[in-house]
């Protein structure tokens, strides 16, 4: 038996109507040429009433024209339809169809679901997952706010109090901030603190170290790239760090190392609030707060032509200068105690000699170097007390400066002399506390109180003297 054309059409229609999912085909003029019952029902009609209709009249938000213009499929997209509003979400595949010569002839839209009850169940699960994602996102943001809050910036000296005041004052604005300071002074921590105190705190914090990205990859990393932009590129393209920072904060660390061509493109983004991926002519609107940091002399770089002058004035509307650790001697002890707590040695303390050596040192590596010094010292110290001999060699290589007491307050000078006297007496008496107390003319209780004050251990001092 040979089927006629009309019976074949009826057969095809019965086949697609039997499918528990929506099938629709539109031509290049966006008129519906094929549709099954499932899809027709979701568009608010039946097959006969919808055939030949202009799809945007039925679904104003359709992406059919975009799919045909790009001639690229869009798979697994989540969408809604006017007849169901936002109450039900569908998973849709949009696939362009082409002739053998490659000319686009239309688009197939494929909605995946079985029946309304199963769709509602799937929709409920999707909403539950979205709620969980939102919950975890808020939880992570809360943890990050605690980890990078302004309270994490340790110190109460005048210099660091000024930095904290600037952070709180600048956080409420949206103008770019330039953080200046030597290596290890806490530029990224300061940037995080500005973000967590700002209206953008719920958005992403995207950090880029400009000195760590190869120059030939810099533009694609910062601005992203379009599909087919270069050999080996992701077929769907890739968003850049600027796009990822949308509605949040973009932190450009070591901005003085940014290549000149990238500086030009960044300036355009800051002026237009739009970013264009490498290999594309289409731009995307972006909204982010820019924070930059550098340890370099940008003014000198501008004079030398290695940093754009117009970009310099764009990024330095607000400036924060981070003082080196050598100018924050009063903050060394609280910072050191905080670091020891972080690395699991919160029970460890310092002898006066060790503390004096740390305050006299110049700290060219700043807080980052202090961290390394304390890791070394905490593993070498005895009796949970860091002494001067537990510190790395560079801190104790200038004994003359350590033995000079001329610049000490009187109370500190007398305390140092008493500590030295007691230490020598301990060695002289071989750790015999009773004999030492009789010779000094004081009670054992008074002597033990002095041992406690100066963190002296009679047994340890005796052992050291016999080595």
Closest C-alpha to 153, from 143, 139, 140, 166: 166
How many angstroms separate the CA atoms of 333 and 236, rounded?
53
Retrieve residue 142's tokens. 């809360």
Q: Do residues 415 and 348 touch, judged by C-beta distance below 8 A?
A: no
pLDDT tens for 262-304 read 999 999 999 999 999 988 888 889 999 999 999 999 999 999 9
- Of residues 450, 442, 189, 190, the one with CA closest to residue 320: 190
- Cα separation, 429 vs 439, whole angstroms: 9
User: What is the reported pLDDT for 120?
Assistant: 64
- How many helices and strands in the chain, by DSSP H and E? 21, 16
Eight-class DSSP state of 255: G
Q: What is the pTM of this model?
A: 0.58
Taking the C-alpha atoms of residue 431 and residue 451, their distance in angstroms, rounded to an integer, is 12
Residue 376 CB: number of other CB atoms within 10 A? 16
The confidence score (pLDDT) of residue 436 equals 86
pLDDT, position 414: 74
Element (H, E) at 9: helix 5-18
CA distance 105 to 12: 20
Per CATH, the number for 7-113 is 3.30.450.20
Rounded to a whole number of angstroms, the distance between the first and last alpha carbons of the chain is 110
User: Is 236's pLDDT higher than 90?
Assistant: no
pLDDT of the residue at 67 = 92
Distance, CA of 444 to chain centre: 57
Tell me the pLDDT tens digit for each residue of 352-363. 989 988 988 889
**Spans of all domains in the chain:** 7-113, 148-321, 329-465
Convert the pLDDT of each residue in 25-83 to its tens digit: 999 999 999 999 989 988 888 999 999 999 999 988 899 999 999 998 988 787 878 87
DSSP-assigned states of every residue in 43-80: TTS-HHHHTT-BHHHH-TT--HHHHHHHT--EEEEEEE
Cβ-count burial 24-61 (b if 16+ within 10 Å, e if not) = bbbbbebebebbbbbbbebbebebeebeebebeebbee
Cβ–Cβ < 8 Å for 195, 201: yes
> 176-199, pLDDT tens digit by residue?
999 999 988 999 999 999 999 999
Name the residue with higher pLDDT: 320 or 231.
320
pLDDT at 459: 60
Query: Do residues 267 and 310 touch, judged by C-beta distance below 8 A?
Result: yes
Q: How confident is the model at residue 397 (pLDDT cuts 50, 70, 90)?
A: low
Q: Which residues contact 225 (CB under 8 A, 6 or more apart)?
A: 233, 234, 237, 238, 240, 277, 278, 279, 280
Q: Could you tell me where the beta strands, DSSP code E, fall in 9-167?
A: 22-27, 32-35, 74-81, 85-98, 104-112
Nearest to residue 188, comparing CAs of 290, 289, 258, 293?
Answer: 293
* Fold of domain 329-465: Helicase, Ruva Protein; domain 3 (1.10.8)
Beta bridge partners, 23, equal 110
Place of tokens 């080196």: 324
Cite the beta strand spans of 358-458 per DSSP E.
Answer: 385-386
**Contact (Cβ atoms closer than 8 angstroms) between residue 278 and residue 219:** yes
CA–CA dist 374, 355 (Å, integer): 12
> Do the beta carbons of residue 167 and residue 190 sit within 8 Å?
yes
Cβ proximity of 250 and 286 under 8 Å? no
- The topology under which CATH files domain 148-321 is Rossmann fold (3.40.50)
Half-sphere exposure in the Cβ direction for 144 (13 Å, CA): 20
Distance between CA atoms of residues 394 and 230, nearest Å: 50
Q: In what order do the strands lie in the sheet with 104-112?
A: 32-35, 22-27, 104-112, 85-98, 74-81
* Cβ 332 vs Cβ 359: under 8 Å: yes
> Which tokens hold the place of 214?
């190869």
To the nearest 10°, report the CA torsion of 414, 419, 425, 428. Answer: -130
Q: Where are the beta strands (DSSP E) in 73-192?
A: 74-81, 85-98, 104-112, 177-180
**Tens-place pLDDT, residues 87-103:** 677 788 999 999 888 89
Q: Going by DSSP bridges, is the β-strand pair 248-253/238-239 parallel, antiparallel, or unpaired?
A: unpaired
């Amino acid at each position: 038996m040979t089927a006629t054309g009309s019976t074949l059409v009826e057969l095809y229609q019965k086949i697609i109507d039997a499918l528990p999912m929506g099938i629709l085909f539109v031509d290049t003029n966006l008129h519906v040429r094929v549709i099954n019952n499932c899809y027709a029902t979701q568009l608010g009609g039946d097959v006969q009433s919808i055939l030949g209709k202009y799809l945007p009249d039925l679904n104003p938000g359709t992406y059919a024209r975009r799919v045909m213009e790009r001639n690229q499929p869009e798979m697994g997209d989540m969408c809604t339809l006017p007849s169901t509003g936002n109450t039900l979400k569908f998973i849709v595949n949009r696939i362009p169809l082409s002739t053998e010569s490659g000319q686009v002839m239309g688009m197939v839209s494929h909605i995946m679901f079985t029946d309304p009850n199963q769709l509602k169940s799937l929709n409920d699960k999707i909403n539950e997952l979205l709620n969980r994602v939102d919950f975890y996102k808020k939880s992570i943001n809360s943890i990050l706010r605690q980890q990078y809050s302004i309270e994490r910036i340790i110190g109460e000296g005048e210099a660091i109090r000024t930095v904290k005041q600037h952070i709180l004052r600048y956080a409420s604005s949206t103008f770019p901030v330039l953080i200046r300071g030597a290596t290890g002074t806490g530029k990224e921590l300061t940037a995080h603190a500005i973000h967590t105190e700002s209206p953008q705190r719920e958005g992403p914090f995207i950090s880029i170290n400009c000195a760590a990205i190869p120059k030939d990859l810099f533009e694609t990393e910062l601005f992203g790239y379009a599909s087919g932009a270069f050999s080996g590129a992701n077929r769907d393209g890739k968003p850049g760090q600027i796009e990822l920072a949308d509605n949040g904060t973009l932190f450009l660390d070591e901005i003085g190392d940014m290549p000149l061509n990238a500086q030009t493109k960044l300036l355009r983004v800051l002026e237009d609030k739009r970013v264009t991926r490498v290999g594309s002519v289409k731009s995307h609107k972006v909204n982010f707060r820019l924070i930059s940091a550098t340890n370099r002399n940008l003014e000198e770089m501008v004079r030398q032509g290695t940093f754009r002058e117009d970009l310099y004035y764009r990024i330095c509307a607000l400036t924060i200068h981070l003082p080196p650790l050598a100018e924050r001697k009063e903050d060394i002890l609280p910072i050191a105690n905080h670091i020891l707590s972080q690395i699991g040695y919160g029970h460890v303390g310092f002898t006066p000699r060790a503390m004096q050596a740390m305050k006299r040192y110049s700290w060219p590596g700043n807080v980052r170097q202090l961290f390394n010094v304390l890791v070394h010292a905490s593993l070498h110290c005895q009796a949970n007390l860091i002494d001067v001999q537990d510190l790395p060699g560079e801190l104790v290589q200038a004994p003359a400066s350590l033995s000079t007491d001329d610049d000490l307050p009187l109370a500190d000078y007398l305390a140092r002399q008493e500590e030295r006297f007691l230490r020598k007496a301990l060695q002289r008496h071989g750790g015999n506390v009773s004999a030492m107390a009789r010779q000094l003319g004081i009670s054992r209780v008074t002597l033990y109180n002095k041992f406690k004050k100066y963190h002296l251990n009679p047994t340890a001092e005796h052992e050291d003297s016999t080595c």
